[in-house]
């Protein structure tokens, strides 16, 4: 496929800490697969982090750097893919301001994540920025005239809103933006150590920056099928987080493991020991790349600078169209 023909993807992660295996399997690996066939912009959205942690901003820049290391270690190729720190590309903010003028507050108040965040984080007086979170996300995508957005199911309402905003802009000022389609990741999301969704706030994560010993120790503490108390009890692998990891990282031996667990031949302690081996082996190439990248911070900064530059070329084009459509140029 020639460069011109490739469809544009913008996708991103909000980094509130180090990246974990859920981020790797749920998003990063998918981006790596897509980067050959699409013009891919992989965002690190630091402004979105401010919507909830505006008081404590001291760690954001370091998290951004760590995320860049993880993106590269997972296999994003900076020759093909622009790794974009959102705040380094001013057009994200410009388009956000313009889109905010045409987005009814009622649309934003209906977004499920807005209600969830307010409740979970006990936010009594939500900021204008928190309400506008999805408008900033729409700006992220539309400023690249993104056509495809790989996201998890939880982001669907945001994408729907992005399409509504694009339609409204096009209706008001003339056809400018494509309506971006979501590309749902079809593979199962890895559970956390305790079987719930893997999330920093639950303390149930395996981080890409964990050492092999830390990974083995975390695997040792993983929850298994609660109905399997002793080795000889028949297990229910489909309800067991250890088995979910086994399927993800060693599919070739999953069937036999399932049989042995159900037959009471494989105990949870032994299975977790196996999984510790499987995981540390699977992650070794990524760990090696991580170490090399950490030893060369100048390279990583260079990648981010180049990413921002490529992003600006694209977003400048879009903003020119936008200003003209709005008759402000």
From the candidates 5, 6, 115, 117, which is the catalytic residue?
117
If the CB atoms of residues 14 and 103 are measured against ligand TRP, the closer one turns out to be: 14
Taking the mean position of all CA atoms in its chain, how far away is CA 44?
Answer: 9
For residue 10, state whether it binds ligand TRP (rule: CB under 6 A).
yes
By CB under 6 A, is residue 96 in contact with ligand TRP?
no
Taking CB under 6 A as the criterion, the residue among 15, 19, 45, 85 binding ligand TRP is 45
Is 327 among the residues known to form the active site?
Answer: no
For residue 137, state whether it binds ligand TRP (rule: CB under 6 A).
Answer: yes
Q: Which of 28, 50, 83, 149 binds ligand TRP (CB under 6 A)?
A: 149
User: What torsion, rounded to 10 degrees, do the Cα atoms 79, 85, 87, 91 define?
Assistant: 40
Asked if 141 is part of the footprint of ligand TRP (rule: CB under 6 A), the reply reads yes
Residue (13 or 82) nearer to ligand TRP, CB: 13
Residue 159 Cβ, how far from ligand TRP at the closest point, in Å? 8
**Sign of the alpha-carbon dihedral angle for 179, 184, 190, 195:** positive
- Residue 127's CB is within 10 A of a number of other CB atoms, namely 13
> In the 3-class helix/strand/coil scheme, how is 128-145 assigned residue by residue?
HHHHCHHHHHHHHHHCCC
Residue placing its CB nearer to ligand TRP in the complex, 218 or 314: 314
Given the residues 6, 197, 273, 306, the one annotated as active site = 197
Q: Identify which range of 8-16, 195-203, 236-244, 305-313 contacts ligand TRP by CB under 6 A.
A: 8-16
CB-count exposure of residue 10 (10 Å: 0-12, 13-18, 19+):
buried
Q: Smallest gap, in angstroms, from Cβ of residue 137 to ligand TRP?
A: 4
81 binds ligand TRP (CB under 6 A): no
Q: Which of 312, 238, 310, 245 lies closest to 279 in space, CA to CA?
A: 245
91 binds ligand TRP (CB under 6 A): no
Q: Is 227 known to be catalytic?
A: no
Q: Which residues contact 74 (CB under 8 A, 6 or more apart)?
A: 24, 28, 29, 31, 32, 208, 286
Q: Is 135 in the site for ligand TRP (CB under 6 A)?
A: no
Closer residue to ligand TRP (CB): 19 or 266: 19
CB 34 within 8 A of CB 9: yes
CA distance 291 to 288: 5
Backbone phi, psi, residue 77, to 5°: -105, 110
- Contacts of residue 286, defined as CB under 8 A and 6 or more positions apart, other chains included, come to 24, 73, 74, 208
Question: Of the candidates 42, 68, 85, 151, which one interacts with ligand TRP according to CB under 6 A?
Answer: 151
Number of chain positions touching ligand TRP (CB under 6 A): 14
The yes-or-no answer on residue 197 being catalytic is yes
CB of 312 to ligand TRP, least distance (A): 17
Q: Decide if residue 41 touches ligand TRP (CB under 6 A).
A: no
Q: Please, are residues 137 and 93 in contact by the beta-carbon 8 Å criterion?
A: no
How many Cα neighbours within 13 Å face the side chain of 131? 14
Q: Catalytic amino acids?
A: 117, 197, 200
Interface residues toward ligand TRP, by CB under 6 A: 10-14, 45, 48, 137, 140-141, 149, 151, 155, 158
């Amino acid at each position: 496929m020639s460069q011109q023909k490739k469809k544009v993807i913008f996708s991103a992660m909000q980094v509130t800490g180090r990246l974990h295996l859920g981020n790797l399997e749920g998003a990063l690996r998918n981006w790596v697969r897509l980067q050959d066939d699409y013009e891919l912009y992989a965002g690190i959205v630091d402004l979105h982090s401010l919507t909830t942690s505006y008081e404590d901003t001291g760690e954001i820049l370091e998290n951004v750097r760590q995320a860049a290391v993880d993106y590269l270690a997972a296999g994003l190729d900076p020759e093909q893919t622009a790794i974009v720190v959102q705040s380094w590309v001013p057009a994200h903010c410009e388009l956000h301001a313009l889109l905010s003028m045409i987005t009814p507050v009622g649309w934003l108040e209906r977004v499920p994540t807005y209600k969830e965040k307010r409740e979970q984080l006990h936010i009594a007086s939500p900021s204008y920025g928190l309400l506008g979170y999805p408008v900033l996300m729409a700006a992220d995508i539309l400023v690249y005239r993104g056509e495809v957005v790989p996201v998890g199911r939880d982001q669907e309402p945001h994408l729907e809103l992005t399409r509504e905003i694009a339609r409204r802009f096009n209706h008001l000022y003339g056809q400018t933006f494509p309506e971006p389609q979501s590309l749902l990741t079809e593979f199962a999301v890895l559970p956390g150590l305790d079987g719930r969704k893997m999330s920093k706030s639950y303390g149930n994560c395996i981080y890409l920056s964990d050492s092999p010993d830390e990974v083995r120790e975390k695997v040792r503490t993983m929850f298994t099928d609660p109905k399997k108390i002793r080795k000889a009890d028949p297990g229910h692998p489909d309800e067991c987080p250890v088995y979910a990891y086994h399927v993800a990282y060693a599919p070739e031996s999953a069937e036999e493991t399932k049989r042995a667990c159900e037959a009471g031949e494989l105990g949870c302690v032994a299975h977790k020991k196996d999984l510790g081996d499987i995981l540390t082996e699977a992650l070794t190439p990524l760990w090696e790349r991580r170490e090399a990248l950490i030893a060369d911070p100048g390279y990583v900064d260079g990648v981010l600078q180049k990413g921002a530059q490529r992003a600006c070329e694209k977003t400048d084009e879009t903003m020119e169209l936008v200003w003209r459509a709005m008759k402000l140029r």
